[in-house]
Structure 1
Amino acid sequence: TDSVMLFAEQALEAMRSIPGTLQQSLSVENGMPEMAVSIDRDKMSALGLTLDNVGLTMQLYFQGNSTLKFTEGNYEYAMNIRADKAYRQQAEDVQNLTFVNNKGESVRLAQFATVALGTGPNKLERYKRNSAVTIRTQVIGVPSGTVSDQFLEKIATLNKPKGVRVEPTGDVQSMADSMSVLTGALLLSLLLIYLTMVLLYNNWVDPFVVMFSIPLSVIGAFLALALTNTAMSIYGMLGLVMLIGLVAKNAILLVDFANDALKEGKTIDEALIQAVKIRTRPILMTALSTIIGMLPVALSTGSGAELRNGLAWVIIGGMAVSTLLTLVVVPVVYKLMHGKTTRKMQAQTEIERMMYE
């Protein structure tokens, strides 16, 4: 226990050195006076006593038995019988505590245990069935995840006692759980969008071309977070989910127009050039309106602004990069996926024309 409390105090000092943390404290304070009883189990067994018998007797001696009731007339009074306070203060008095063994004989505590005064934690705290000490702090102006990462880096340099582990709890654990749920929601939304487009396009190729624009937005989102020194948060994950629909729309405009041009008899190169030429303006207008609309949120200050800023920068970075790359990458992927099929269709059309001639 002493080694754990020493490590907890060192970890508390590490927390205090992290910028943005205030009112750091431990859930358990050391230095409270206590009376420690060290039992020799071999001597105890030889004297005809069991650990249950000794523990129950000491519990009655110090805490008493509150289950007793005293009834007088129509009134019932709760009773708690235990040793008088004067006989619970000194180690010598506790050593004279007597127990009755299996032979009905009286045995003093001093015959099989030692009693010493010392100090210890003011309470016993448990986490996942283990003794625990919680370090609490308020975080201002810095994401909780950033503080958690810095804290884990600092305590990794400390001499951690054997059998002791460090786990995040509170807001940090809640945020980690929420991020995990949102990650699952993000993957599920990708799957549903792809399957929906498969039904609408009636093929597997065009939805793949459209979905190829989504990784481009993720690159832009994380690039924006890195450039602005903003940590990924729950709001940032929500921004990624929003980006899926925003950037997929731009790719759909190009793919639809190229498909219509192919049906009109144009070559794949002509269809893609015309699609980019005609659809670039509406795509840029949509992207710019979204980016400009999110700038006030990205540049806002005040309480909780760092969370809102993350969402805005994710959308701004994702839209900016994906819009520019979509106009280049999506046509390339479209030609790679449709080139072979288009050549076959054109060859078939040429053969049919020659047969009719």
Structure 2
Amino acid sequence: MAAYFLRDHGHRETGDGFIMRHYVRLLGWSVRHRFATIAMGFGVFAGTIFLSTLLPSGFLPTNDISRSMLSIEMPPGTTLAETQAVSDQITADLLKQPEVASVYATAGTGGQGGMAMMASEVRKATIVVNLKPRHERSVDQKTFETRLHDDLAALPDMRFTWSPNGQAAQRGFSMILSGNDGEAVEQAALKLEKEVRDHVPTLANVVSSAALDRPEIRIVPKLDQAAQLGVSVDTIAETVRIATIGDIAANLAKFSAKDRQIDIRVQMDERARAKLATFDALKVPTSKPGVSVPLSSVADVSFGKGPTALDRYDRARRVAVEADLVGETPLGAAIEAVRALPAAKNLPQGVALLESGDAEIMGEVFSGFALAIAAGVMLVLAVLVLLFQDVLQPITILVALPLSVGGAFIALLLTGNSISLPVVIGFLMLMGIVTKNAILLVDFAIESIAKGMDRTTALIESGRKRAQPIVMTTIAMAAGMLPSALALGEGGSFRAPMAIAVIGGLIASTVLSLVF
């Protein structure tokens, strides 16, 4: 458009304006007082390090994607019909909320496929709540979930949790206790769970993943009698398995229909499984063909209780302490609060407290980004050394990199954001922009010195000539980031911290690089 509508009036030299005159005066003072400038630069770097200690760390910022996932868990022994009744009641209550567009629920093992919506037991259910678009709601997704907490907590004999991202049934906070002594691990987990519930207000719905004991029928082989009768332990197990859940698919009889075969599964009636006499009378085949003996003659059958599963981490027993983050609590702050508890500091011998879930991923991602930033800086240094055919000038350019981080930290502090994955991505963007500004200044100064200009005048002229394009680039970049910083649209809350960090870093790096 400019090529068609704007006319060339030729090159014209204009005098410095009010801002430029004061900037050149400040730049001249900075160049002539080198040691004071260097001291102030170190002061800015020290302030940046101090600001980094004031910011909490988190993995992902709270995001509104207009979809919530609620996971519920009933006590052991709950039937599928009872779980379904509770999920239906919750579904009906959710549909009455003005922010809800639709609800999808699965109870037991009914849900399969995408979005990991399969519940693993009949006493568990998953409810996916699709909310109306953000502009049609008066509250955000996190506020909606928090508002329903008291209503859900009033339902008896039920645990519940909201997924932190609305897509996977995982908790926002998760740490595991691991060790070889299973009883010591469980006791330490229960003690830590209690202290977290009582003394860490930033975590809600605190639960331990230690398997709850549920009623069971125990069948213990009589090894001596079984050996005398020629009955192996495998035979006893196979007999009980076929009687309770049926044989494997490969051994089942088939009913041939017109276009397919249907498995015929034979198993005991559910009411008969609750009677020990039924199991005592089961016929177990012996090593002699055609001869079988009652199960009671080769095994003891009794009622008992025990866990449904034993979880392990690196072949050691593990129990997870999980919770939901309250409001916009950063994950790093929650981890520090838990590690400061007496139960976390005084663990039994052989029991370790480890990070898992988002906490573990956060540590891996941050360390990976730190390595990526270091590798990127070294690659930039190598390219600059080749271009300038010098080592000192590229190092001078890269010294400007720490000046941008302080501005990003100040912007995050003012807006109440934490250092999260989007912020780290923003730091990567800042590295390239700040390096570009420094290259413009240093390259112009080197060319001026090569033409015979003294160093002080060359540095001042570099700032005078390059200030306008650098400021224009900064304004354009900051204006482009402004809609993201305002968190406009669906999922805008995820991009906002990145944009805020970039805008703050751009402003600080532009001002400081033009002066220092």
TM-score for the superposition, normalised by structure 1:
0.66
From 117, 128, 137, the counterpart of 2:303: 117
Q: Which amino acid aligns with 1:218?
A: V
Aligned to 1:68: 252
Is 2:276 the partner of 1:94? Answer: no
Q: Partners of 2:221 and 2:302 in 1: how far apart? A: 12
Moved more, 266-275 or 301-310: 301-310
Aligned to 2:402: 215
> 1:27 touches 1:136 (CA, 8 Å); kept in 2?
yes
> 1:30 touches 1:119 (CA, 8 Å); kept in 2?
no
Matches within 5 A, 1:1-357: 14=196, 30=212, 32-39=214-221, 49-65=231-247, 66=249, 67-71=251-255, 76-85=261-270, 87-95=272-280, 97=282, 99-102=284-287, 114-121=300-307, 141-142=327-328, 145-146=331-332, 149=335, 153=339, 156=344, 166-169=354-357, 179=366, 182-226=369-413, 228-276=415-463, 278-280=465-467, 282-284=469-471, 286-287=473-474, 290=477, 294=481, 297-298=484-485, 307-327=494-514, 329=516
Unpaired stretches in structure 1, ≥5 consecutive residues: 330-357
Q: Partners of 2:367 and 2:485 in 1: how far apart? A: 24
Q: Find the structure with the greater CA-based Rg.
A: 1
Q: Which amino acid aligns with 2:505?
A: G
Q: Partners of 2:310 and 2:485 in 1: how far apart? A: 45
Moved more, 258-267 or 45-54: 45-54
Superposition deviation, residue 300 in structure 1: 5.1
Q: Secondary structure at the match of 2:215?
A: strand
Q: Secondary structure at the match of 1:36?
A: strand
Aligned to 1:353: none
Q: Partners of 2:299 and 2:349 in 1: how far apart? A: 28
Superposition deviation, residue 247 in structure 1: 1.0
> 2:203 touches 2:324 (CA, 8 Å); kept in 1?
yes
> 1:33 touches 1:120 (CA, 8 Å); kept in 2?
yes
Moved more, 114-123 or 235-244: 114-123
How big is the alpha-carbon RMSD for the aligned residues of Structure 1 and Structure 2? 4.7
Q: Whose relative contact order is higher, 1 or 2, with alpha carbons under 8 Å and at least 6 apart?
A: 2
Superposition deviation, residue 244 in structure 1: 1.1
> 2:412 touches 2:497 (CA, 8 Å); kept in 1?
yes
Superposition deviation, residue 325 in structure 1: 3.9
> 2:243 touches 2:268 (CA, 8 Å); kept in 1?
yes
Moved more, 92-101 or 236-245: 92-101
Q: Partners of 1:285 and 1:19 in 2: how far apart? A: 47
Change (3 A) 1:128 1:311: same
**Aligned residues between the structures:** 328
Unpaired stretches in structure 2, ≥5 consecutive residues: 1-181
TM-score for the superposition, normalised by structure 2:
0.49
Q: Which amino acid aligns with 1:142?
A: E
Q: Partners of 1:172 and 1:270 in 2: how far apart? A: 53
Change (3 A) 1:7 1:241: same
Taking only the aligned residue pairs, the percentage that are identical comes to: 29
Change (3 A) 1:96 1:280: same
Moved more, 81-90 or 34-43: 34-43
Superposition deviation, residue 236 in structure 1: 0.5
Q: Which amino acid aligns with 1:194?
A: L
> 1:216 touches 1:321 (CA, 8 Å); kept in 2?
yes
Change (3 A) 1:116 1:140: same
Superposition deviation, residue 199 in structure 1: 3.8
> 1:34 touches 1:117 (CA, 8 Å); kept in 2?
yes
Q: Which amino acid aligns with 2:212?
A: N
Aligned to 1:348: none
Tell me the alpha carbon deviations over residues 13-47 of structure 1, each in whole angstroms, 9 at most, x when there is no partner.
63797667677777787354322344576776677
